[in-house]
Structures are given as structure tokens and as C-alpha cells.
Amino acid sequence: MFLKIKSSRFAVVLVLFLGLLVLFLIQLVSFRLFRSSFLQKLAAKQHTYYIELEPKRGAILDRHMRPMAVNVATFSLYGVPPQIKDVAAVARQLRELLGLDESFVRERLSRPKQFVWLARKLDWAVMEKVRAQDLDGLYFIKESRRSYPHSRLASPLIGFAGLDNTGLDGLELRFDSYLKGTPGWTFVLRDARQNDLAISDSLQPPVDGYSLVLTIDEVVQYIAEREVDKVFQKYRAKGAMAVVLDVRTGEILALVNRPDYDLNKPSQEPIDSRRNRVVTDYFEPGSVFKIVTASAALEEGKFSLEDKIFCENGEYRVANHTLHDVHPYGSLSFLEVISQSSNIGTTKIAQKLGPATVYKYAKNFGFGAVTNAGMAGEVPGVVKPVSVWSKTSIGAIPIGQEVCVTALQLAGAISALANDGVYMRPFVVRAVIDKQGEIIKEYGPEEVRRVVSAQTAAAMKGILAAAVETGTGKMARSKFYRFGGKTGTAQKVEANGTYSHSKFMASFIGFAPVENPEIAIVVIVDEPRPYYYGGVVSAPAFKAIAEDVLKYRQMARENETIYSAKADGY
């Protein structure tokens, strides 16, 4: 009986064992055939997590490789929610340490994820303060943050990059595809207790961005900004612009906009201060545009420098409009008409030329078209075709009314005269280079067209030198150099379409030195007060910029000669 009972129990146990074995086998086959992929992913998720590796953004350098935009090392804080037991406590500590909103931290750490950002781009001291708390589930990854060592220098030109190192404005945006680089990635391995072990063998290193070498000279930029700041503040102006060009190559050595902003704190200043006005704003140029009319007259052989033009004693009617000069002139020579900036004399010159010729030379000098200098947002300005000229246009366009230009277009035009009549395309980027300094893409001088003959350009240099020495530009005269240039004072147009009697654009365009021009400079001041004449407001700034830039360039050449001589001596 005892053996029978024992045998029955053994049979029951055996059946249960075999049943469980079959069940386990079925489950194993099921997992293997139908759920293996899911389980593998779950295991990988529990023991590894993905991290994107940020590339280093390329630097922006001036023409002498001095940094204007660089990267500094920072540390970004991330969390692994499954490793955090007391989310509320961590949220309170991060509020105290970093000023983070507790609800923000709690929401992030409650997500069913293995990786969540909590704070980006922290400096070393802040990182150490958090790390000292030894909080479970919180880790740091090394990143970089864009930094601008000169804060405001050339800020609307350079622009800025955002938190993720993506360009958001200026050259940072325009050349973002070169500067940004390509992100990499890796997987971090963890043990069963979710502790980080090491970075896995699965690694795709980031590809750092290329660097940008500008035509800008940091020293020239500083000189130009310093002088523009003086007039901007002295005359309580609405805005101001300046451009310094190398007349032989078209390289932009300095480009100034006021107002400007701090590149390290872009969100703290008005959006309007970010505008690169030199290429985005157009305006009626006023008398500086007379260089087009005068050059056309000489090139077409319609006038010589000595020809006399009667200026109607300051009052002259064109169709239903009466022109005036600031001073009533009788007869002036062609040279004096331009150097003294007679509206009436210039209009009489234009009437002899005819609308088609004036329009042709305006276009040849680059007006009414973008310069393609490499900056975003450039506008072409306005030069009306002859078919839409009114009866009074011949008395307006030749003296800089009914036409709209940019500061950069004016710089290109005056450079053409300084460069013996050849227009060189202005440009602001010299090269894109890699970390080893190898050139990826290069931009060089580009001759666009001959605007006037060398003989006409030489005659115009003489006229513009007289404008500084005895004409309306006397406040640009220098004790050290001989300058040439032209003043401009343009009434702004009111909302109702009439010319304002209280809002003006004061301008001066010129080159230096006259004998062998190196640089062209444009200074524009928007709504200066109480004085508004270009010869009073802008000409002194031109003089100060030109003198210091020429001295700086001469010093640089002398130093190069000294170093070269030393090298030869060795």
C-alpha cells in the first residue's frame, strides 16, 4: 500500500515536472521566434544609451588670423531618469544650484527615457559645484560654447550662433554650413545596477567645422568704429555706417554699423541693432552721387575741367520744379561745379549728357545691383530706367535724388575711381580653412568691369582732391596726407512722400592718399542733429579714419621690411 501511494506521488511530480518543462520550452521557443528582437532592444536599452557628440564650430578670424569668434569649453548637464529615486529632492537641489525651475526639472526627470538634457553650456565653476553634490543619475558631457572676444566689434557683420552652435545671424548664419561641422555619436555601457562603465566600441567621432578667414583687419575695424562712435554720439544720430575698402583688391577692411550689439548677449538688446545696415539699408545719396554725372561727362568728352557753366545765381527751373544751390553761384568751371557741389551746375551737365547716358553710368558704377560681397540681406537699391523718368528726373537723379543706394555700393563706386577706373567686387571673406590651415575654399580679387578710362579717373581724382582742399570737404583736409572726396547732404523722404526739412543723411565718400590711393572710405550718418551737412558731420570722421589707417598700414609695411631684412641677414 505504501509503495503504491509513493508511486502515485512520484507520477504526479513527474507529470508536473514534465508539464513545466514543456511550458518552459514553449515559452523559450516563443521568445526566440517571436520576441527576441523586442527583448534584445529592451536589454540594450537597459545597458546602453546613445549620446550625440557635438562637433567644434569653426572659428572666425580676421585677415591676420586674429580671433573674432571662437569656442570655449563648457559642460552640459543631463539626467538618466531610471537612476533617480527622489525626483523632487533633485529638482530642489538644482533650483538652488542652477536656478532651474523645479517643475521643469520634475517634468524632465519623469520622462520614460534614458537621457534628458537639464542644463546646457555651463562653465567649469558651475559644473564643479553641481558635481560636488554627487547626485545619483546626473552626469556631465563636455561641449563648447560660442564666444566673441571683442563683444561688439563688427557685431552686425559677424552675427552670432545659438545654444546648439547653429548660426543665427550675420556671417555665422551665411556660412553656417562650413562652420558647424557634423555631429558624432557613441553608446555608453552600464552594469546591472545602471552604473556607467565606459564608452563602447561603437563610436562615430564628430567632424569639426571649418574656420572662416575674413578680409577685415581687426585694427582698421577698431579705428573705424572708434571714429564712427564719436559722430554717432556727438550728433545724437539715429544710425551710422562706415566702410573701408582696399581699392586695388576690393577687400573690405572694416565695416561699421550703429547701433550695434554685444555678440555674447544678443537677446538682451533690440533686434534692430543686429541689422547690417551697410548692405540692408538703402537711401537717397544726395551730392555724393555727383561723381557719376561728372565721370560720365568727362568720359563722353562733353566737358573739360576748364569749361564754364553758368549756375544761375542759385535758382534754376527744371519743368515745374525749381532747383537751388546752398550758395548762389554765377559762372563756375566744371571742376568747381563738383568741388563746390552745385546742384544747378550738375543738372546742366546732365541735361547735356541726356538721361540714357546718366542711367548707363549709374549702372556701370554698380548702382541698382547687389555687390555679391558675401553678406546676407543685401539689397540692390533703386535706379529707375529711363522709361519711367519724369520731366523733373533729369534735375533730380544726377544730384542724388530719385535714386537709392547702399553704403557698400558707394564704397565700390568711389573705389573704382581711385583704382584708375576699374571696379573691383567688394568682398568680406578671404578663405575657408580646415584645422591644419589648408584652404578648402578661397575668395580673391575679382575685376568686374572698367567703368571709365584711366584718364577720366585721374581727372576725377584731381576734382575730388580740390573738393577737399578748397571745396565743401575742407573739414577732411589732413596735415599729413592728401585726400580726395565728396560730401553729401540728402533730405530724407517723409511718409507722405515729401522731402523732410528736419531729417537728413550726412555723408562723405573719399580715398587716400590722392597720389597713390590705397583705401576708400565711406561714412554715412543718419539723422544727425543739430548739424546735418556731410562736410561738417561726416568729413572729420573720414579724415580721422584715413589718417590712422594709413599710419597703421605704413607701420605694418615697415615692420615687414625689418623682419624681412633680419631673415635675409640670417
Q: Which residues are catalytic?
A: 287
Dihedral sign computed on CA atoms, order 401, 403, 409, 415: negative
Element (H, E) at 128: helix 124-131
Count of alpha carbons within 13 angstroms of residue 164, beta-carbon side: 8
Q: Are 67 and 149 in contact (CB under 8 A)?
A: yes
Cell triple for 472: 565743401
CA dihedral 229, 231, 237, 239 (to 10 degrees): -50
What 3-state DSSP class applies to 180?
coil
Q: What is the widest separation between alpha-carbon atoms in the chain?
A: 149
* DSSP per residue, 397-409: GGGT-SEEB-HHH
Q: How far apart are CA 355 and CA 334, in angstroms?
A: 19
Q: How far apart are CA 428 and CA 175, in angstroms?
A: 12
Strand partners, 240: 258, 525
Question: What residues have CB less than 8 Å from 270, skipping those under 6 apart?
Answer: 259, 261
Strand partners, 51: 186
Q: How far apart are CA 166 and CA 54, in angstroms?
A: 11
Cell triple for 236: 545724437
Q: Are 408 and 371 in contact (CB under 8 A)?
A: yes
CA separation, residue 243 to residues 61, 151, 217, 426, 509 (Å) = 19, 20, 12, 10, 9
Fill in the amino acid letter for 521: I
Pairing of strands 184-190, 48-53: antiparallel
CA-nearest of 560, 490, 480, 546 to 518 is 546
Pairing of strands 447-450, 484-493: unpaired
Radius of gyration of the chain (CA): 35
What 3-state DSSP class applies to 502?
strand
Q: What are phi and psi of 147, to 5 degrees?
A: -135, 145
Dihedral sign computed on CA atoms, order 556, 561, 567, 570: negative
CA-nearest of 542, 512, 491 to 287 is 491
Query: Left (φ > 0), alpha (ψ -120 to 50) or beta: where does 260 sit?
Result: beta
